[in-house]
A = this chain, B = another copy of it.
Amino acid sequence: MIVASHRGPERFQREADGTFTRQRGAGGVVSALQPLLAGGGAAWIAAAMGDGDRAAVAAGAARSDDFDLHLLSLDPDAHRLHYDLISNSLLWFLHHGLFDLPRRPVFDDRFEEAWSAFRSVNQAFADEIVSAARDGDPVLVQDYHLALVPAMVRAQRPDVSLVYFQHTPHCGPNSMGVLPTTAATELLASMRSCPTGFHSQRWVRAYEACCEIVAGMAPGPAFAAPLGIDPEALDASASGPEASRELALLDDLVDGRRVILRVDRIEPSKNIVRGFLAYDLFLERNPQWRERVVFVALLYASRENLAEYQAYRAEVEHAAERVNNRWATAGWTPIALDPEDVYPRSVAGMCRYDVLLVNPLKDGLNLVAKEGPYLNERDGVLALSTEAGAFDELGDAALAVHPFDIAQTASVFESALAMDSDERKARAARLRELTASRTSRHWLDELVAHARAEAG
C-alpha cells in the first residue's frame, strides 16, 4: 500500500551530536493512519516539513522503523506558496465557507505564481507515487493539499489503483465559482479521475454539483466513508497515568460542578466565539446554574503565521474574558480557557464532561464528537452541530446545535443540563454503541476497496 499525505508520520530533529531523533507527526490524517499502518510494510510519501526533516533527508536519515518513508524535500518558496497561500488560506477557507467575500479572496498576479507552486508540489508527490507504485498496490491520496495528484498520477500510470480522500467538507457550486475558473476546473478534473471520498454524503453531493454546474463535467465515482475512532489507542490513553493525573487536576479545577467541555484547534470554522456567546446567554437566562457549571475550553493555537488566525484567537480570548468579567464570583470562573495542547488533558476532559459542545460552522467530520462519547464515563450529553459531518451518524443520539443560533445553543445547554438520568443514559449508550462499532480500520478498508474496485 502507498499513502500520500502532506504531513508525514514522523518528524525529525537534528541533535547536538549530529544524530536525528524522531517524533510522531502532527495532524488528524497522521493520527488516524499511523497506528493502522505502522509495521505493515506500507510506503508513506510526505513533505519534509521543516529544517529538521530537510536535514534528515539530506543526511539520508529520514528513515522509519514502521514505514517505507519517502520524505520529499521541496523548494521552500514553492512549499510555502503551496501550503500557506493555496492550501491553508484559499482551499481551507473555501471549503469551510470562511471568506468575508466583499473583501477576500483577491486573486492578483501573485495567484498565478502560487497556483503554479501548488501544482509543482502536487507533481512532486505524483512523481514519487509513480516511481514507488508496483502493480496492484492501492494508492491512498490524502486531503485537499494533494487534490491535483490523482490526475497527475493517472497521466503517467493509468493502471494504478488510486483513491483520493478529502477530509474537509466540499463547498457547493456557488462557492466554487469564487476560485478562478481554470483553478476550479483543474481541481475538479483531477478529483474525478479516480474514486473520491468524503466523510459525509453531503460533501459528496456538493462535489458532484460542482462538477456538473461549475465545470460542466460528469462527476467521477464518489463515496462517503466517515472515519471512525481508534478504540485501542483511546483505551490505552484513558487508562494511562498521565490521563489519571490530568483527571485529578480537572476535578480540582471544577470542584464538583457540572462541566461543559470543548476541545478544538483555535480555528474560525470551529465557531468558538459563538459557543461562548451562547454560554453567556445561558447564564443570563438561568440564574440557578450560575456557580454550578464550568465551561472547560481546551483550545490550542494553530496556523499562527496567518493574520486571520491571530485575529480569531484574540476574538476568542476577548469573548471568554467578557463572559468571565460579567459573571465570575470569588470562588467561580465561568470559563476555564486552556490554550495548551496536552493530549492526556483532552482525554481526561472527554472522560469527565457532562456536556460536550461541538458546534462548528462546517466540519468535514469532527472526530472529537466520536472520541468524546466513546470515552465519557458520566453519561455526558453530546451537543453537536448539524453542520459537522459526524451529525449524519450521531445526530439522533445527540442534541442538535444550529451553529449560527446562539439562542438555540443556549437552550441546548439548558436541555442537556436538565436532562433526566434515564434519557442521558440511553443517549450515551447509543453514542457509545455507534462510535465503537465503526473504527478507523473500517474506514481504511473501505478506501482500499474503492481503490481496488476502480482498478478492477
Contact = CB atoms under 8 A, between A and B. Distances in A.
Interface string A407-435: 11000000000000000000000000000
Nearest to A269: B102
Contacts of A206: 174
Nearest to A100: B100
A180 B409 CA distance: 11
A102 B277 contact: no
Size bin of chain A's contact surface: 35 or more
A175 to B, nearest CB: 7
Interface string A260-273: 00000000110101
Contacts of A103: 273, 315
B177 A174 contact: no
A405 to B, nearest CB: 4
Interface stretch (A3-11, A107-115, A136-144): A107-115
A386 interface: yes
A111 B402 CA distance: 14
B174 A407 contact: no
B101 A98 contact: yes
Interface string A202-225: 000010000000000000000000
Interface string A383-410: 0001100000000000000101111100
A312 B408 CA distance: 31
A106 B171 contact: no
B386 A108 contact: no
B404 A108 contact: no
A174 B406 contact: no
A329 interface: no
A108 B277 contact: yes
A29 interface: no
